[in-house]
């Protein structure tokens, strides 16, 4: 599935939810079912700066596609990060490097985040896209 198709799928899942409270509940419910990271991978080198809670990102390149795993110590942060990682996971380095996660604003998620969470999300997307650029250069 292309990132454009994934974007449309995520928007289709979130748009019908009546307000931001329902959207955040959906995101929190996803976080509860999302796989976490083992404690030995929750290292400072994988920590995303700028968020109120701890957020870890583990990027990798496998068989020519980017893979992303994440975890956080807050359910809302974990849910949003998981949604973003799921969006980019399995995409080519070129797609990752050249595609923004603007769908979150389109469905009204980013507008209701605290400034620190919004900053953490921006840094997460930045790290993911930077990994795509790095993978392209190799």
Domains identified in the chain and CATH numbers: 3-137 (3.90.1010.10)
Q: How many CB atoms lie within 10 A of CB 21?
A: 10
Beta strands at 55-62 and 65-72: parallel, antiparallel or unpaired = antiparallel
8 Å CB contact between 40 and 100 = no
CB atoms within 10 A of CB 19: 9
DSSP strands (E only) in the chain: 55-62, 65-72
pLDDT for the residue numbered 1: 87
Quick one: pLDDT at residue 138? 82
Dist CA 126 CA 75 (whole Å): 21
- pLDDT of 76: 92
pLDDT in tens, the chain (138 residues): 899 999 999 999 998 988 889 999 999 999 999 999 999 999 999 999 887 899 999 999 999 999 999 999 999 999 999 999 999 999 999 999 999 998 889 888 888 888 888 899 999 999 999 999 999 998
pLDDT of residue 115: 86
**Would you say 69 and 85 are in contact if contact means Cβ atoms under 8 Å apart?**
yes
Exposed e or buried b for every residue in 23-54, given b needs 16+ CB within 10 A?
Answer: bbebbeebbeebebbeeeebeeebebebbebb
For the four alpha carbons of 11, 16, 21 and 22, in that order, the dihedral sign comes to negative
Residue 52: the pLDDT is 80
Q: Give CA 30 to chain center in angstroms.
A: 12
pLDDT of residue 18: 80
- Which residue is it, tokens 């980013």? 110
């Amino acid at each position: 599935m292309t990132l454009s198709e994934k974007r449309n799928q995520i928007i289709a899942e979130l748009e019908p939810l009546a307000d931001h409270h329902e959207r955040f509940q959906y995101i929190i419910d996803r976080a509860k079912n999302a796989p976490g990271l083992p404690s030995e991978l929750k290292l400072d080198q994988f920590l995303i700066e700028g968020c109120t809670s701890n957020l870890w990102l583990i990027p990798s390149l496998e068989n020519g596609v980017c893979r992303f795993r994440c975890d956080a110590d807050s359910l809302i942060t974990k849910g949003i990060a998981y949604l973003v990682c799921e969006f980019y996971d399995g995409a080519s380095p070129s797609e990752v490097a050249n595609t923004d996660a603007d769908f979150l604003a389109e469905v009204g998620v980013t507008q209701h985040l605290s400034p620190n969470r919004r900053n953490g999300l921006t840094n997460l997307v930045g790290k993911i896209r930077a990994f795509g650029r790095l993978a392209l250069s190799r």
